[in-house]
Amino acid sequence: MQRTAGPTNSLHDVAGLAVGHHERVGEGWLTGTTVVRCPAEGAVAGADVRGGAPGTRETDLLDPRNLVERVHALVLSGGSAFGLAAADGVMRELYAQGRGFPMGGPGDVVPIVPAAVCFDLGRGGDFGAFPDAGFGVAALAAADGGPGAAEAVAQGSVGAGAGTQVGGLRGGVGTASGVLADGTTVAALVVVNAVGSAVDVATGELWGARHLMAEDLADLGDWPDGRWPQRPGPEELAAARAAAEEAGATSAVPRSLATTIGVVATDAALDPAQCARLATSGHDGMARAVNPIHTMFDGDSLFGLATCGRAAPDQAGFHAMLHTSGEVVTRAMVRALLAARTITTPAGTWRSYLDAFPSAARP
């Protein structure tokens, strides 16, 4: 199957979508919120929740048996269940703009803003430092007034990825896109935060690295041009294991609570059931990047979005979209880890993958 990344290799390659991040770091804070703003008319949506400890909002509404088909924004946030409050700010701002589900006269609208959250409480040092409605307002403003659709989405330790971790290493936000042979675009944005590990502990290699494309490394600022992730040496692997054990023993917050959340989107015309299926296939991509995934301590959730700018696919075309959904999710997750940066807070140290395994980037 043809594998080509879109112009920005990000969610911005799906026309009509815009991403905004807001985070707060320092003085006890290490958390943030990411908003995906949809076109004014909304985008058709579905969802698939797989983890055993989810924190979500409006996912029941997205059941294909129910009334509402389109959403006006999606919120991904840190803060565990507290972080769902970020969606309140997004709703109020969209209402002020007159964007939402029409309920009668002019301006009588209810914005539809599903949300999912991940656990990052206490990682900045203050357990009570979590996103509120103001984080949603700021992230939506960043989506409205930030980089245009011709620019890529910021990745790494930003937005909802600010306080994330995966298997003891620092997590983050990652994004990737794929363009099918007929021109349809499928793209993902994922907040990587997992109990499981993204690293094969026997080799130090990232589980999902084999799914990368050359474009996935080209726009990572510090990544050496033309170099592919290498297998770390045995001494480095042993040192990383020892450091992980020490960090786990001294951490002031539990590393056994997490949740990976995100969105898979396309410009094709899909119905809500097909959007849910797009999200389902995205979970296959999660399973290629983290092991184990969908545990009882994770609330792993994905949304599917369709902006409907292109015609509906035939059966073969939809199959290709589902295959690509899993691929872009895996690539987005690996890119999140390669873009993440080490941080130390009063609660502990979370090293980036490249600091734990610097020889992965050797010539």
pLDDT in tens, the chain (363 residues): 657 999 999 999 999 999 999 999 999 999 999 999 999 999 999 999 999 999 999 999 999 999 999 999 999 999 999 999 999 999 999 999 999 999 988 889 999 999 999 999 999 999 999 999 999 999 999 998 766 666 889 999 999 999 999 988 999 999 999 999 999 999 999 999 999 999 998 899 999 999 999 889 887 766 665 566 778 878 788 877 777 666 665 566 666 679 999 999 999 999 999 999 999 999 999 999 999 999 999 999 999 999 999 999 999 999 999 999 999 999 999 999 999 999 999 999 999 999 999 888 765
**CA-to-CA separations, 85 to 77, 88, 239, in angstroms, rounded:** 9, 5, 40
Could you tell me if residue 144 is left (phi over 0), alpha (psi between -120 and 50 degrees) or otherwise beta? alpha
For 231, which DSSP code?
A: P
pLDDT at residue 238, as a whole number = 80
pLDDT at residue 2, as a whole number = 59
Q: Beta partners for 302?
A: 48, 262
Give the chain's length. Answer: 363
Coil, helix or strand at residue 232: coil
Q: How much is the pTM?
A: 0.94
End-to-end CA distance of the chain: 30
Reference 161, options 299, 261, 48; nearest CA is 261
Coil, helix or strand at residue 95: helix
d(CA 156, CA 203): 23
pLDDT at residue 111, as a whole number = 98
Between 315-339 and 272-289, two packed helices, what is the crossing angle to 10 degrees?
A: 40
Reference 265, options 50, 103, 32, 42; nearest CA is 42
* 3-class DSSP string for 307-359: CCCCCCCCHHHHHHHHHHHHHHHHHHHHHHHHHCCCEEECCEEEECHHHHCHH
pLDDT at residue 105, as a whole number = 85
Give the pairing type, strands 29-37 and 185-192: unpaired
pLDDT at residue 222, as a whole number = 62
